[in-house]
């Protein structure tokens, strides 16, 4: 990226480069904060959704798109032999269960997707927030939130 234009500082290019750098720094800080937010393993089991005991098997990675950019987190993984399902308690706690999008990204997608076409919402997310997603993701998140709102009404 060229930060100079006609021998002088290109303000727009500079502010966009700084925004990108701050997003990268922020995403690394967010990864560290989430890593520190892991509960202490005082027990090797947790209750699964059906009330059985799920056994701790280790750590599992997850890619997550946040308002600061993509991050990779590591969270505890438990397995319930009765149900035959895995359990990630932190996913529920952080609001990322069943999704690779942070709550902030989903909120922005739903807000823009409710006001304009999904394609325009995708373009605005990229231009205004530096968040790059595909149009279908905006559509899914917007429709999911719309269904939840209808359920509350």
SS (H, E, C) 45-94: EEECCCCCEEEEEEEEEEEEEECCEEEEEEEEEEEECCCCEEECHHHHHH
Averaged pLDDT, 89-111: 95
C-alpha distance from residue 75 to each of 63, 97, 110 (Å) = 11, 12, 26
- 142 near 118, Cβ under 8 Å? yes
The alpha carbon of residue 152 and the mean position of all alpha carbons in its chain are separated, in whole angstroms, by 24
Residue with tokens 């922005």: 108
> Percent of the chain, pLDDT > 70?
94
Task: With residue 122 as reference, give the H or E element that holds it.
Answer: helix 118-124
pTM, 2 dp: 0.84
- 73 near 102, Cβ under 8 Å? no
pLDDT in tens, 25-34: 999 999 999 9
pLDDT in tens, 51-83: 999 999 999 999 999 999 999 999 999 999 999
């Amino acid at each position: 990226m060229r930060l100079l234009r006609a021998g002088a500082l290109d303000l727009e290019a500079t502010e966009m480069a700084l925004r990108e750098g701050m997003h990268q720094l922020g995403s690394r800080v967010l990864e560290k904060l989430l890593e520190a937010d892991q509960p202490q393993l005082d027990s090797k089991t947790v209750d699964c959704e059906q009330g059985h005991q799920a056994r701790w098997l280790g750590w599992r990675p997850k890619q997550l798109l946040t308002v600061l950019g993509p991050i990779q987190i590591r969270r505890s993984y438990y397995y319930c032999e009765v149900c035959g399902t895995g359990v990630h308690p932190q996913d529920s706690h952080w609001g990322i269960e069943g999704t690779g999008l942070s709550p902030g990204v989903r909120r922005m997608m739903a807000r823009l997707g409710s006001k304009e076409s999904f394609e325009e919402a995708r373009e605005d997310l990229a231009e205004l927030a530096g968040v790059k997603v595909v149009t279908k993701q905006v559509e899914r998140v917007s429709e999911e939130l719309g269904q939840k709102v209808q359920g509350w009404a």
